[in-house]
Amino acid sequence: AVSPPRSALKDAEYPLYLDECERLGFDTMWLSDIPLGGLGDPLINLTFAAAYTSRLKLGANLVPLGRHPYWLAKQLAQLDRLSHGRLLISLVPGLGQPAERKALGYPTGNRGKVVDEMIALMRRWWAGEIVNQQWCGYEFEDIVLDPTPMQEPLELWLGGISAMALERVANLADGWLTSAATPAEAGAGRTEIERRAEEIGRVVDIDHFGISIPYCLEKPKEIALDNLRRRRKDRDLTDIVAVGATELRRLTKAHIDEGLSKFVVRPLDVLSNTAPWRDDLRWLADVVLPLQT
């Protein structure tokens, strides 16, 4: 999957970007949910892409907190139908920036528990169940969802690398899409998820383990690495960020060797990158598409 820079999501550029993604042969376009980042709402952008494209799969990291579970279940179901089953979703329990959490009123505690409960509710509606339940101040009485998704089931992936996050994936998720992890950490995480899932009688598909890899064509400015350094003070970023074609291939292959098979390649400076996107996308196609199966 390829994640567009900010410049590719601007007005008339967006349909051109989608055209080029399909022409070059990328499997998936992947968006991030960054409410205060100037990238637009991922569901609106995916809805346009669903109507505009015919082959490209459409994915997003989505922050469910702050969204009503019924409305979110309905939006995702309709989007899956509009795209003829091309929708891919990974849920993110929270926002990385404290300023975003404060501005939008997102909870700081029990976020994982709330997301777990939202997943359970949405899956019940997608399965055609009539829901009678009180939840977080809402009272659902004989609530049914129509239409339901085209995919049966519509998969929900989760991310994270902490012990709690890995346990949540093993207990609930259809797949794992982590980030800011070295190949060794990603491999250990995959093994732990499989172990915990087996203990409770679940199976996470062997082909449903992936990672988001940030890349840049040349040595980045130090400010572009600040966020990653805050998250991963204990790690050498050369095993997390790919600089140049050789390193992007090396890092991708290292993750493949650790048992991962799904990759989102995204610009390191996705928010501040306003440079023309065409050359970057073609460069990326030359580097990573030969590895795509």
Choose which CATH entry (3.20.20.30, 1.10.645.10, 3.40.1160.10, 3.40.190.10) describes domain 6-291.
3.20.20.30
Choice among 138-142, 144-148, 197-201 with the minimum mean pLDDT: 138-142
Task: Categorize the per-residue pLDDT at 210 as very low, low, confident or very high, splitting at 50, 70 and 90.
Answer: very high
pLDDT in tens, 6-24: 889 888 999 999 999 999 9
Domain spans of the chain? 6-291
Task: Categorize the per-residue pLDDT at 64 as very low, low, confident or very high, splitting at 50, 70 and 90.
Answer: confident
Give me the pLDDT at residue 203, please. 97
Which of 60-74, 120-134, 263-277 has the highest average model confidence (pLDDT)? 120-134
Gap between the Cα atoms of 203 and 169, Å rounded: 11
Cβ neighbours, 10 Å, residue 100: 16
Task: Categorize the per-residue pLDDT at 276 as very low, low, confident or very high, splitting at 50, 70 and 90.
Answer: confident
**Residue 265 pLDDT greater than 90, yes or no:** yes
Task: Categorize the per-residue pLDDT at 122 as very low, low, confident or very high, splitting at 50, 70 and 90.
Answer: very high
